[in-house]
Amino acid sequence: MFLKLLRLEVKSFFRGSSLGINLAMKIFRFIGILYFMGCLVGGAVLAFFYVQEEMHQDPLKVVSKFLIIAWAMDLIIKYLWQELPTQNIKPFLTLSIKKNTLVNYMLTKTFLSAFSWLISIFFFTFTIIALFNGYSILGSVMWLVGVSSLLYLNNFINIFSNNKETVAFVVGVAFLAIAALGYYDIVPILSYSELIFYSFYEKPYFSLVAVALFIGLWILCFRYVRREFYLDQGLEAKKTVGKTENIAFLNKYGATGTFINNDIKMLRRNKVTKGIVFGSFMFLFYGLLMFTSPVYKTPAMTMFMGLFVTGGFQFLFGQRVPAFDSSYYPLMMTLNVPYKEYLKAKWWLMNIVTGISVIIAAIYTYFGWELYVTFFAAGLYNIGVNSQFTLWSGAFNKMQIDLNSKEKRFGQKNSFNTMALLLLIPKMLLPMAVFAITKYFFGITAGVISIAVLGLIGFLFREKIFDIIVKHYKKEKYSTLDAFKNKS
């Protein structure tokens, strides 16, 4: 039955209405997977021999020491990006196929995702190298089995926490607390990690505990999913009682105020948009990377940081216009919706949040006024230039978004387009190059002024640019409608 279900999915892929785009995306993903596989294999070789020959330590012990960090990062990545294959299962629920078979198929399919098995390439390669360098065969193999079992537990934890933001928040806070305890040497987290994971090699029978945990969590997860495995229960979008909200003072700004009002309500009510707001807040702390890597201290990368710190909401929200409205976009197009006012509402909302981000970014004055004025100039560039180019790129984004479900989609076919990549030049590369060159020849003041002037020019010519953007939105109107209507 498992093979039959897989064959049906292969047939649906080749019989789909967008075979060419699907195939292109599969090829790009395959190339990406090969690239990461090469990096992981190279990383395993480098980790083993660098620790052994340069650090003169036991490579297995050192890797075991940092495995707790790898486990936590693996869980975070799976929670953010690994989507459960429930949509492909729904059609079979009306057929005479045992639900137990479908549930086991769904659970098994989560292990076929690259997010599940890709990290195992590192540990498999590391184990092979260890075997050729005098390590015990039984100990090395059981170490690999134990480590893999604990890593694959994350698939089940992800299923339990799926669509439960409260659980995810509690786990995230726990991770931060544990990381802080380890960082400040209050609790030797890394030492405990080495003790636990290295015991799989020293005492191979300990790996059976990890295997037992894996089997036990599979059974619990099976029962949990089986209990909710109905079209009118677990697989149906949750419905809540609707509430009428209105920000009255925005209504006096006409159609633009009405659209802003609707967008604010959307941001407050839906899971995906709440994630956008949270992600935008986290972007404010992106500049702290500058103090952990010397690469980010170059002028170009400082500007890159500033663009992200002040423009997080802009990049996350703006490039998904009009995808956020995909569920009712066809209805909007049957009404007399003023395109320019619709886009201006998005533009004003993005710039208001960008302005707030510029103010909050004043915390970076702690690291020096030169850094903050760079971020301030980047904020002005985001307001005057990037806000419009981000909206422009949204015209070519035809990815449907379900506002009621957590967004875990990476590399969807309709989100990939050449125009969006070309627009990265004026959005990112241009300000980085201008700031780096101007600062190198004329100093920090000239660099900041040059970026601020570009932002001001963009703001002054916004009406002309908006006319061009509206023209492209109208040009892409019917292909966008077709993409939003096509649910396959």
What gap in Å lies between CA 287 and CA 366, rounded to an integer? 12
Question: What is the 3-state composition of the chain as percent helix, strand, coil, each rounded to the nearest 5?
Answer: 80, 0, 20
Q: What residues have CB less than 8 Å from 81, skipping those under 6 apart?
A: 115, 408, 409, 410
Residue 138: CB atoms within 10 Å: 10
Residue 152: CB atoms within 10 Å: 20
3-state secondary structure 285-309: CHHHHHHCCHHHHCHHHHHHHHHHH
pLDDT at 237: 47
Spatial contact of 369 and 442, defined as CB atoms under 8 Å apart: no
**Helices vs strands, H then E, count in the chain:** 24, 0
Regions in the chain scoring below 50 on pLDDT: 234-244, 408-416, 488
Query: What is the crossing angle of helices 299-318 and 430-442, to 10°?
Result: 150
pLDDT at 341: 83
Q: What residues have CB less than 8 Å from 86, skipping those under 6 apart?
A: 106, 235
Spatial contact of 348 and 271, defined as CB atoms under 8 Å apart: no
What gap in Å lies between CA 126 and CA 393, rounded to an integer? 43
Read off the DSSP letter of residue 55.
S
pLDDT at 90: 67
Residue 132: CB atoms within 10 Å: 8
What gap in Å lies between CA 192 and CA 199, rounded to an integer? 11
Neighbouring C-alpha atoms within 13 Å toward the C-beta of 416: 15
Neighbouring C-alpha atoms within 13 Å toward the C-beta of 134: 4
Q: What residues have CB less than 8 Å from 344, skipping those under 6 apart?
A: 256, 259, 466
What gap in Å lies between CA 201 and CA 143, rounded to an integer? 5
Spatial contact of 376 and 358, defined as CB atoms under 8 Å apart: yes
- Tell me which residue of 459, 442, 433 sits closest to 379, measured CA to CA: 459
What gap in Å lies between CA 198 and CA 482, rounded to an integer? 55
Listed by start position, the domains of the chain span 21-227, 248-485
Q: Rg of the chain over CA atoms, in angstroms?
A: 26
Whole-structure pTM value: 0.58
